[in-house]
Amino acid sequence: VKSIAQQENISEAELKTIKGSGLEGRITKEDILGFVANRGNQPAPQAAPVQVATIPQPATSAPAATIPVSAGDEIIPMDRMRKIIAENMVKAKQIAPHVTSFIETDVTNVVKWRNKNKAIFEKREGEKLTFMPIFVKAVVKAIQDFPMINVSVNGENIIKKKNINIGMATALPDGNLIVPVIKNADQLSLSGLAKAINDLAYRARNKKLRPEDTQGATYTISNVGSFGNLMGTPIIPQPQVAILAIGAIVKKPAVLETADGDVIAIRNLMFMSHSYDHRVVDGSLGGMMLKHVHDYLENWDLNTEI
């Protein structure tokens, strides 16, 4: 709502005239878009534009080149959500110098553990057990090892976050992207994480998320493997300073060290890529944090309770 208000130059006085349909009268995205659609039909009170969170403004870019349109080409106007996503992505790249580290992880134990427990969990809880709760658990433990990855930048100050709130990038049926947030993920068990993730994913796909469900993330995970991709170079969502992309799990031959020498075995391998803001996260911190996620997944205890 704040982004739309700023983009449309909606004054604070105008905002006060909008009747909110959300919880406790809050103004929702639908409310403000309806106001914008009908704005030309009513006089707008004159007042200073509404003030929003202070973030560094990117330098003005050069005018976009004219794109030639050939016969038969289709012109599709961006919807409001796609415009906001596009603007946020451009800002994120202009504000934060991105660096990405990669690692390949043997998740054979994770796959075995899930195969052993998914039927038990579904029978007990009535819900699917995906890999995401395991990934979130490993990320939370790594953040606890390296708390300076759980920060934001405000001018020349670094804000170290107390809570660990994990954003979960989710593709919507219409092709847009939304990031629901698992609040206080460090305080949830594996079972609690599984329930929270399933609930957020379901409500995201069915447009039932509340505004607070997408606010307050301190670190984000993007599962590009769900599309069959091996790896990606994700863009860090502001004001976070890092994001992890998880690739598809693929069976491959791998060299294992045993007491009797090296052997080749079929293992479940997965790439992870870690993008981080080089203003405050150096290669050592970004790389070590990724390595700890890798170690937690490779050494997953097959006797872990769910």
pLDDT for position 60: 54
pLDDT for position 42: 56
Kindly name the residue from 79, 282, 294, 301 that is annotated as catalytic. 282
For residue 98, indicate whether it is catalytic. no
pLDDT for position 253: 96
Type of residue numbered 162: K
Which residues make up the CATH 3.30.559.10 domain(s) of the chain? 98-298
pLDDT mean for each 10 residues of the chain (306 residues):
81 81 80 75 50 50 73 89 89 94 98 96 94 98 98 96 96 85 97 96 91 95 94 95 98 92 96 97 97 98 92
- CATH architecture, domain defined by 98-298: 2-Layer Sandwich (3.30)
pTM above 0.85, yes or no: no
For residue 274, indicate whether it is catalytic. no
Kindly name the residue from 145, 278, 292, 301 that is annotated as catalytic. 278
pLDDT for position 84: 87
pLDDT for position 104: 98
Distance CA 29, CA 213 (A): 14
Residues 6+ apart with CB under 8 A from 303: none
